[in-house]
Amino acid sequence: MAKKTVADIDPQGKAVLVRVDFNVPQDDAGVITDDRRIRMALPTIQSILGRGGKAILMSHLGRPAGKGFEQAFSLAPVAARLAELLGTPVELAADTGGPDSHAKAKALPAGGVLVLENVRFNKGEKKGDDAAYVDGLATLADAYVNDAFGTCHRTEASMYAVPKAVKALGKAVTSGFLVEKEIQYLSDAIATPKRPFVAILGGKKVSDKIAVITNLLSICDHVLIGGAMAYTFSLARGGKTGKSLVEPDKLELAKELLAKGGDKLVLPVDTHCADDFSSGANKQVVKAGEIPDGFEGLDIGPETAKHYAAIIRSAGTVVWNGPMGVFEMPPFDAGTKAVADAVADATAKGAITIIGGGDSAAAVEQLGYAEKVSHVSTGGGASLEMLEGKAFETVAVLDDK
């Protein structure tokens, strides 16, 4: 069901409590090395400020112990960077829903921004049901907005108990623009796909993606397999996999998926393999299931790439999670590149194309295709769980349209 967004609330003169994902990477000196997550939250923040609202922002950063303030995990550098990006002053509260947060929230003018300290400084955040902690945050809000997709698969207090409490007080709880877009692509587009619906699954392990493969097999027309996980399937069919990365304890599972998938489950027909895990190794292309002893598969072969590209180019909807090979190490990026190129072509022809987070998003960015697909998800674990068909309580709690 469609959820209300920040655009559906009137923030004029109101305090809008926004759960953002400001979990940015920092170097040893605490300097932010990539501020993308802060920039991605700007449309939601600016929408609140532009309509005369006050934005109170909360986020986690890293993994503090949950026993109070730790300098290394302070949101102070994030607040400073946000002030630069917005071009307005940004206040920082020393606590998360405590006396300082309430005093600073009360003094905040319309158009003002307040960042609360790291939610994970409080043990109540992970625990989820610490009433005093939840209440301290919920009573700051005239409305609550969830714009932290990367954390949507976790029912930590700021993600679930707080919006529930805000709702119980009769106030609006909605998604932000970032979460709205993720739901639109990772859930809605998949629920009513334009066909043919093609899934591309790669990466290291079958075991990480069992639930995704199972779910997508039940809703897709074709599920293309690449990456090292293809070798476990190959072994399950009696193929030779040399010293490739395989999961011998997942052979039965692979056999079950092969039986369940039938023609829908498409496996590589050839493999680019090498005698060492390096660019300079001795390389050869062999038929799938015929990897010689002493060699390991590092990418799908050219025939497979051609075959997969043809299927992808005629798709109506594409979902991709996991690279086709070791894309970080040329020439074993060729399969992933060919697939990315076909996904870009499909997009240009009107297909809805969705790249799951984590390594596939990194691969698409690195290879220069991020702007040529419909959607690159910002969440790793959250994106995978949504593709598994899981319902998120943190999304369910938001007001319906």
The Cα 209–Cα 171 span in angstroms is 38
**Stretch of residues binding ligand AMP (CB under 6 A), selected from 42-50, 198-206, 258-266, 368-376:** 198-206
**For the chain, how big is the Rg over CA atoms in Å?**
23
| Cβ at position 101, least distance to ligand AMP in Å | 37
Interface residue with ligand AMP, options 11, 53, 261, 323 (CB under 6 A): 323
Interface with ligand AMP includes 136 (CB under 6 A)? no
Interface with ligand AMP includes 298 (CB under 6 A)? yes
Interface with ligand AMP includes 204 (CB under 6 A)? yes
**Stretch of residues binding ligand AMP (CB under 6 A), selected from 50-58, 100-108, 197-205, 217-225:** 197-205
- Give the residue closest to ligand AMP by C-beta: 203
Catalytic residue IDs: 37, 205, 358, 381
Nearer to ligand AMP, 177 or 295 (CB): 295
Interface residue with ligand AMP, options 11, 136, 242, 297 (CB under 6 A): 297
| Cβ at position 204, least distance to ligand AMP in Å | 4
Nearer to ligand AMP, 227 or 239 (CB): 227
| Cβ at position 299, least distance to ligand AMP in Å | 6
Interface with ligand AMP includes 239 (CB under 6 A)? no
Nearer to ligand AMP, 149 or 332 (CB): 332
The Cα 340–Cα 329 span in angstroms is 16
| Closest CA relative to residue 58, chosen from 25, 101, 89, 28 | 101
Nearer to ligand AMP, 102 or 205 (CB): 205
Interface residue with ligand AMP, options 326, 344, 346, 397 (CB under 6 A): 326
The Cα 110–Cα 93 span in angstroms is 17
Interface with ligand AMP includes 208 (CB under 6 A)? yes
**Stretch of residues binding ligand AMP (CB under 6 A), selected from 6-14, 70-78, 249-257, 325-333:** 325-333
CB 40 within 8 A of CB 147: no
Interface with ligand AMP includes 290 (CB under 6 A)? no
Nearer to ligand AMP, 15 or 228 (CB): 228
**Stretch of residues binding ligand AMP (CB under 6 A), selected from 58-66, 97-105, 190-198, 323-331:** 323-331
The Cα 389–Cα 190 span in angstroms is 9
The Cα 9–Cα 4 span in angstroms is 8
Binders of ligand AMP in range 164-193 (CB under 6 A): none
| Cβ at position 384, least distance to ligand AMP in Å | 9
| Closest CA relative to residue 173, chosen from 146, 196, 201, 200 | 146
Interface with ligand AMP includes 322 (CB under 6 A)? yes
Residues that bind ligand AMP (CB under 6 A): 203-205, 208, 227-228, 245, 297-298, 322-323, 325-328, 358-359
